[in-house]
Amino acid sequence: MLSNSKLGFGLMRLPKDESGNIDLQTVSKMVDKFIDSGFTYFDTAYIYEGSEEITRKALVNRYDRNLFTLANKLPGWLLNKQEDVERIFNESLERCGVDYFDYYLIHSVEESNYDIYQKYNCFEFVTEMKKQGKVKHMGFSFHGSSNLLKRVLKDHPEVEFVQLQINYLDWEDGLIESRTNYEIAREHNKPIIVMEPVKGGTLASFPKEVEKMFKDYNPDKSIASWALRYVASLDGIMTILSGMSNEEQIDDNINTFKNLVLLNNEEKEIIEKVKYELNAYPIINCTSCRYCIDGCPKSILIPDLFKAYNGELTYGKSPIYKDYYDEHVKDGHGKASDCIECGTCQDVCPQHLSIIEYLKDVSKVFDK
Ligand code: SF4
Ligand code: SF4
């Protein structure tokens, strides 16, 4: 079941055109580069806005079905009755324009939704889809605690792979538990798909003095390539998903994976030093997945406001960040101070962020 190469194309953060729609022309070019370079794994999801349709147009309609593998996911937080499971699955097949998914995942399993997946027999449903040939391999993506991961793997030994958030910054993080979850998956002999290897872009650019630590060692390698090689150097990794947003990123990732060189000990030590330096910048660890936006009664563009805040915190005060903030609190989108503390966003945040508290910090900086 291993794909040809470890790099997977995450179709979550796709480029947009001036009108705010996903840019089909650019995505098609990115798909062409990816496939021409010998890569095959594409990852979409029912909840990635516009992603399934663009997958159909840029990939499925343009390439022979045998030339690529496609992963999709079932979102538990949209299930309100039993029939929703089959409805969503069929909608995904239709939107993507395919008869089957190579990989189908129960999406973002965590403490707040595992009971829903159990209540609606979602694992059993995917097993049935496998029998019918509509799914080739089943797995789940995971954002919960290590105790829950053990429980899910015990309850469902039928899953063939797990998708985990792994990157060097989260490796020892007490909430994400990358290392512990990785070890549990290995103990259960489950191949691992890595998500967020670059932590939503957080590990792609740093303040100059931190970047210098990487550049002094190897001036030709991008900052993101260190994060990708970190996870590629772990045993048992089946695929590493990178949510690519432009041609430059795809070129860089292809370059990293076509000539993949595992980390040597000296490089591992440099990463440890970089981690230490990064801890001096207490930024909000938002990965821009945007799961929190739809349910917000004030339409607050939470990840965009966090991005402005993180920029100011990391690179210092600048009108750029205030302008960026202002751009994202108009046309009906609330300011940070408009939050009514309903908690809907926090219930779905896979990073377990205290969004309400963070918005208060953001508000102090920008809502003067
Ligand atoms: S807690 Fe605030 S930001 Fe979160 S969904 Fe409610 S109003 Fe929106
Ligand atoms: S706040 Fe959480 S849910 Fe919202 S975009 Fe960031 S990581 Fe995703």
The protein residue with its alpha carbon nearest to ligand 1, atom 3, reads 339
Environment class of residue 28 by beta-carbon count within 10 Å: exposed (0-12), middle (13-18) or buried (19+)?
middle
Return the pLDDT at 5. 80
Query: Can you tell me the distance from the alpha carbon of 47 to that of 291, in angstroms, rounded to the nearest whole number?
Result: 8
Ligand 1 atom nearest 341 alpha carbon: 1
291 lines ligand 2 (CB under 6 A): yes
From 284, 289, 306, 357, the mutation candidate for ligand 2 (largest count of ligand atoms within 8 A of CB) is 289
Q: Given the structure tokens 């102090």, which residue do they identify? A: 364
pLDDT of residue 4: 44
232: left (phi over 0), alpha (psi -120 to 50) or beta: alpha
Domains in the chain, start-ordered, CATH in brackets? 7-278 (3.20.20.100), 302-366 (no CATH)
Residue spans of alpha helices (H) in 193-264: 208-217, 223-232, 247-258
The Cα-based distances of 125 to 75, 182, 353 in angstroms read: 13, 26, 31
Ligand 2 within 6 A of CB of 243: no
Per-residue pLDDT tens digits of the chain, which is 368 residues long: 334 489 999 999 999 998 889 999 999 999 999 999 999 999 999 999 999 999 999 999 999 999 999 999 999 999 999 999 999 999 999 999 999 999 999 999 999 999 999 999 999 999 999 999 999 999 999 999 999 999 999 999 999 999 999 999 999 988 899 999 999 999 999 999 999 999 988 899 888 999 999 999 999 999 999 999 999 999 999 999 999 999 999 999 999 999 899 999 999 999 999 999 988 888 899 999 999 999 999 999 999 999 999 988 887 788 889 999 999 999 999 999 999 999 999 999 999 999 999 999 999 999 97
Is the beta carbon of 353 within 6 A of some atom in ligand 2?
yes
Residue 312 neighbours by CB distance under 10 Å = 20
Q: What is the pTM of this model?
A: 0.90
**Which ligand ends up closest to the CA of 108?**
2
Alpha helices in 97-238 (DSSP H): 114-119, 122-131, 146-155, 178-187, 208-217, 223-232
With beta carbons less than 8 A apart as the criterion, state whether 103 and 109 touch.
no
CA trace torsion 109, 110, 114, 116 (10° rounding): -90
